[in-house]
Amino acid sequence: MTLNPRNRKARDIELEVSEPATGRVEFPLIGTDRKRVEGLDVACIIPLLQACPGDETESLFACADRTRKGFVGDSVHIRGIIEFSNYCVRSCMYCGLRRDNRKLRRYRMTPDEILAASENGIRSGYRTIVLQSGEDPYYSASDIARIVEGIKAFGDVAVTLSVGERPRSEYATMKAAGADRFLLKHETADAELYRRLHPGASLETRIECLQNLKGLGFQVGSGFIIGLPGQDIATIARDITLLKELDVEMAGIGPFIPHPDTPLASYPAGDVTMTLKALAVARLALPHANLPVTTALSTLQKDGRQLALSCGGNVIMPNITPAKYRELYEIYPDSASLKDPEDGGIGEIAGMLKAVGRGVSATKGDTLPREKRPIPARDEASFQ
Ligand code: 5AD
């Protein structure tokens, strides 16, 4: 299997799916189909993404829900996210934090502020703290390492980092300090589209970073955006197969939301149903993965959390950034996370989960290594 994106041009994908896509998957989904999706078949994924409104889509969602239940159970992992800097050296065409957006007032939290916010989160019941920022070299790897050590000293919690591309040696410093997980979305698996949307960057480097992180022992999360201008359904299928090839432990899939101060301001938002379908197929392809309900989805759809939880999702990541900084972390406008209570509102989430037959996980929510994963009983999984 090759991961070099240069070997996989959009045209190759089109060739792979040039046979009539429909009719290859029977709805309602039964075992063989799910097995084929798990087996990384782009041509099988496309008709799933094309499921018609009504019975077909419901069948896909139900299949993903059974798979989720069988492989990762009913508990939902709650991770508190702290957006500690909105400075960014990148100029991604879709993102409000892009360097060229001069309208945004920038902030950086001090290490003490980050530790205080983490401690508050842990006191409120969080067992994972996610530290996210724009790509901001102001914080050296050893700065981040010291913050990770500080958080780890508060108790038995996991730390997830989401700080962008860095050299392998810097990732190693962060890992040695105790960081458990790392999120770095591949954003789009189409190398040409990636190049156009991320000036000066490449999908190849992105994948190299993900492989470095994996090699260092991080639980790795990737993910992608639905509805980027220039994306088509074959790209989304390829996004999902790339997740599988990278063997990620986590994957965030969210819709594009236009930001007025970016070059993509006038493009339409991504489709909520397509986002849910991609999430559902990702669950079939990666049955053991931790799949969050993305904030972007909740921003476009009021009951986004509940919907995504019923289509394969098993993680919620409330914002626990101090209120004074939140509005400034404007990746896109009107983020649903602005409404999260400052303590992240675990109590309210627990109530919502109970109402939909789910519960808050009592564990840190690590993905088990392959050899330790239980094999779900046949009737618990989605084979029928
Ligand atoms: N719409 C949706 N998602 C976005 N991201 C950045 N900008 C946007 C946008 N306009 C996502 C990217 C990034 C994550 C932090 O936010 O996937 O990885």
Confidence check: pLDDT of 148 > 80: yes
Burial of 4 by CB count in 10 Å (0-12 exposed, 13-18 middle, 19+ buried)? Answer: exposed
* Banded model confidence at residue 370, pLDDT cuts 50, 70, 90: confident
pLDDT average, residue stretch 172-200: 98
Cα 168 to middle of ligand 1, angstroms: 24
Q: How many CB atoms lie within 10 A of CB 100?
A: 13
115/119 Cα distance (integer angstroms): 6
Out of 77-86, 147-156, 253-262, 332-341, which region has the weakest mean confidence (pLDDT)?
332-341
Question: Among residues 283, 190, 279, 278, which one has the least CA distance to residue 230?
Answer: 190
Question: Among residues 323, 326, 184, 324, which one has the least CA distance to residue 252?
Answer: 184
Question: Among residues 16, 107, 36, which one has the least CA distance to residue 285?
Answer: 36
Judge if pTM exceeds 0.95: no
Domain boundaries, the chain: 5-372
Tokens of 114: 């980050």
CATH superfamily of 5-372: Aldolase class I (3.20.20.70)
- Residue 343, pLDDT score: 78
Out of 23-27, 176-180, 280-284, 339-343, which region has the weakest mean confidence (pLDDT)?
23-27
Question: Among residues 137, 218, 125, 120, which one has the least CA distance to residue 178?
Answer: 218
Local structure of residue 39 (DSSP, 8 states):
T
281/49 Cα distance (integer angstroms): 8
Question: Among residues 221, 191, 380, which one has the least CA distance to residue 292?
Answer: 221
Residue type, 324: K
Total residues belonging to the chain: 384
Residue 331 Cβ inside 6 Å of ligand 1? The answer reads yes
CA-derived radius of gyration, the chain: 20
Yes or no: say if 196 and 228 are a contact pair by the CB < 8 Å rule.
Answer: no
- Residue 371, pLDDT score: 76
Residue 225 Cβ inside 6 Å of ligand 1? The answer reads yes
Percent above pLDDT 90 for the chain: 82
Local structure of residue 316 (DSSP, 8 states):
E
- Residue 15, pLDDT score: 28
For ligand 1, atom 16: residue with the closest CA: 331
Tell me: the pLDDT tens digits for 18-66? 333 344 577 778 665 556 566 657 888 999 999 999 999 999 999 999 9
Provide CB contacts within 8 A for 182, sequence distance 6+.
160, 161, 162, 171, 174, 213, 218, 219, 220, 221
278/188 Cα distance (integer angstroms): 13
**How far from each other are the two terminal CA atoms of the chain, in whole angstroms?**
30
* Ligand 1 pocket, mutate which of 87, 94, 337 (most atoms under 8 A from CB): 94
Ligand 1 atom nearest to 331, measured from its CA: 7
